[in-house]
C-alpha cells in the first residue's frame, strides 16, 4: 500500500529550482493523486521554464518509481499559455471575438498546391499537441496521402526533436524547400532562427514568420499537390494564436486535451475561439488517458460541445521515448495501441476533410 504522506515526503525531498522549497511544499506539484499502488501529479510552469523543470519531473518520476509497491507513476510537465502581449495591429482581441464581432475575412493567402490545412491545437502546453500532430501526420501518410507538417508553436517548437530535423530549410526559385522526414514534408519555426528567446516570436513577427512558412514554402507542385498540411499551433487562446488562426486558411482543427478538468476548460476555450472565427472543430482527442488522471473527461466534454470525440491515447512511455529520439511511435511500432489509435483518428479526419 502506498501511503500519501510517504509520497509527499519523497517529493518534498526534491526542491523547486525557483524557490528552493520541496516541490509539494512550494505548491509546484498540483493535483497529486495517490492510489494503493500508483501516483501522479502535474507540474505547471511558465512556458520559458519547461527546460528548467524537466529534470525536476524526471527526478520526481524516478523517486516515486523507486518506492516499494509502486506500479505506475505519472508526472506531467505542463506549460501555461503566455498572457497576450501588448500589441498594435488590426486583428481582433479575444474579448472582441467573445462579443460576437463579425467573423474574420477568409484569408486569401492559401498555400499553393495544398488541398487541406489541418490545425492541431490545445488549451495549454505539455498536453501532447505535438505528439498528436506528428503521429497523426504519419498515420495520414500511411493512408497513402501526401502530408506536410508545419511546426508553428513559437513558444516551444518541438518538431526538430520529434522528427530528428536540423539545419535551415533549403531555398530554391524564391521558395523555401521543406525538410523530408519519415515521408513527411516538414518545416519548423525552430529551424528558422538561432534565437532561443521566445520573445522574438511574440506578436506580429510570429504571425509573419508563420504566414511566410505557409505560403512561401514549396509544399506541393501542380503535378504533385500536398493532400494535407498539419499545423502544430501554439497552445492557448492568446493574441498570437488569434492572429494566426485568422491569417491561416484552416479547414479544420483537432483539439488535444488531458482528462483533468483544468485542461478541459482550456480545451473548451480553444474550441470557442475556433468556432468564432469559423474553423470547424473536427474533434477532441484525450491524451494521457488512464486511471491516474482519470479518463473519459474529454469524451464527455466533446458531447457537451457537440463535437466528435476522436479517441483516447493512453499514457505510454514509448510515446515520449519515440518523441525524444525523433522516431514517431506510429512508425516505430506500427501494430501497437498507439498506431492503431492514430490510424482510427486519421480515418475520421480524412473523412471529415473529404480527402
Ligand X SMILES: Nc1ncnc2c1ncn2[C@@H]1O[C@H](COP(=O)(O)OP(=O)(O)O)[C@@H](O)[C@H]1O
Annotated binding residues for ATP, written as ranges, equal 123-130
* Positions 289 through 308 that interact with Mg ion (CB under 5 A): none
- Nearest approach in angstroms of CB 332 to ligand X is 13
Identify the residue among 50, 78, 122, 130 touching Mg ion (CB under 5 A): 130
Q: Which range binds Mg ion by CB under 5 A, 79-87, 158-166, 313-321, 330-338? A: 158-166
245 binds, among Mg ion, ligand X, none (CB under 5 to 8 A by kind): none
Question: % helix / strand / coil in the chain, to the nearest 5?
Answer: 40, 25, 40
168 binds, among ligand X, Mg ion, none (CB under 5 to 8 A by kind): none
Backbone angles phi, psi at 110, to 5 degrees: -70, 135
Q: Which of 76, 8, 77 is nearest to 49 (CA)?
A: 77
Show the DSSP H helices in the chain as ranges.
4-12, 50-65, 94-98, 129-142, 159-163, 203-215, 239-247, 261-276, 297-305, 317-325, 329-332, 337-352
- Nearest approach in angstroms of CB 170 to ligand X is 26
User: Are the beta carbons of 254 and 232 closer than 8 angstroms?
Assistant: no
C-alpha to C-alpha distance for 58 and 41, rounded to whole angstroms: 13
> If binding is defined by CB under 5 A, does position 207 make contact with Mg ion?
no
Q: Which is nearer to ligand X, 220 or 323 (CB)?
A: 323
Q: Which is nearer to Mg ion, 64 or 155 (CB)?
A: 155
Grid cell, residue 285, equals 482527442
**Pairing relation of β-strands 38-45 and 29-34?**
antiparallel
287 binds, among Mg ion, ligand X, none (CB under 5 to 8 A by kind): ligand X
Q: Which is nearer to ligand X, 92 or 191 (CB)?
A: 191
Backbone angles phi, psi at 312, to 5 degrees: -120, 140
- Nearest approach in angstroms of CB 157 to Mg ion is 7
- Nearest approach in angstroms of CB 289 to ligand X is 8
- Nearest approach in angstroms of CB 218 to ligand X is 26
| Residues near Mg ion, by CB under 5 A | 130, 153, 158
Amino acid at each position: 500500500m502506498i501511503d500519501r504522506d510517504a509520497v509527499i515526503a519523497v517529493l518534498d525531498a526534491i526542491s523547486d529550482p525557483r524557490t528552493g522549497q520541496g516541490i509539494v511544499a512550494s505548491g509546484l506539484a498540483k493535483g497529486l493523486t495517490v492510489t494503493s499502488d500508483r501516483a501522479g501529479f502535474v507540474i505547471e510552469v511558465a512556458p520559458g521554464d519547461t527546460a528548467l523543470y524537466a529534470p525536476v519531473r524526471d527526478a520526481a518520476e524516478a523517486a516515486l518509481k523507486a518506492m516499494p509497491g509502486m506500479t505506475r507513476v505519472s508526472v506531467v510537465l505542463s506549460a501555461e499559455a503566455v498572457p497576450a502581449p501588448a500589441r498594435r495591429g488590426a486583428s481582433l482581441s479575444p474579448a472582441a471575438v467573445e462579443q460576437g464581432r463579425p467573423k474574420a475575412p477568409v484569408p486569401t493567402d492559401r498555400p499553393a498546391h495544398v488541398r487541406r490545412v489541418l490545425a492541431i491545437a490545445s488549451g495549454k502546453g505539455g498536453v501532447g499537441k505535438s505528439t498528436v500532430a506528428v503521429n497523426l501526420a504519419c498515420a495520414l501518410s500511411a493512408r497513402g496521402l501526401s502530408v506536410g507538417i508545419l511546426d508553428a508553436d513559437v513558444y516551444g517548437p518541438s518538431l526538430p526533436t520529434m522528427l530528428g530535423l536540423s539545419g535551415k530549410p533549403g531555398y530554391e526559385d524564391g521558395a523555401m524547400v521543406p525538410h523530408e522526414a519519415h515521408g513527411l514534408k516538414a518545416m519548423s519555426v525552430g529551424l528558422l532562427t538561432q534565437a532561443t528567446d521566445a520573445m522574438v516570436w511574440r506578436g506580429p513577427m510570429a504571425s509573419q514568420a508563420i504566414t511566410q512558412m505557409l505560403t512561401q514554402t514549396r509544399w506541393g507542385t501542380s503535378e504533385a499537390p500536398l493532400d494535407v498540411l498539419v499545423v502544430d499551433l501554439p497552445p492557448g487562446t492568446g493574441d498570437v494564436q488569434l492572429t494566426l488562426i485568422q491569417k491561416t486558411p484552416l479547414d479544420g482543427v483537432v483539439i488535444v486535451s488531458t482528462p483533468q478538468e483544468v485542461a478541459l476548460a482550456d480545451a473548451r476555450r480553444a474550441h470557442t475561439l475556433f468556432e468564432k472565427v469559423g474553423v470547424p472543430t473536427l474533434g477532441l482527442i484525450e491524451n494521457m488517458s488512464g486511471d491516474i488522471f482519470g479518463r473519459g473527461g474529454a469524451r464527455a466534454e466533446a458531447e457537451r460541445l457537440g463535437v466528435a470525440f476522436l479517441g483516447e491515447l493512453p499514457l505510454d512511455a514509448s510515446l515520449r521515448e519515440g518523441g525524444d529520439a525523433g522516431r514517431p511511435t506510429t512508425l516505430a511500432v506500427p501494430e501497437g495501441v498507439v498506431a492503431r489509435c492514430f490510424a482510427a483518428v486519421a480515418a475520421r479526419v480524412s473523412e471529415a476533410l473529404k480527402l
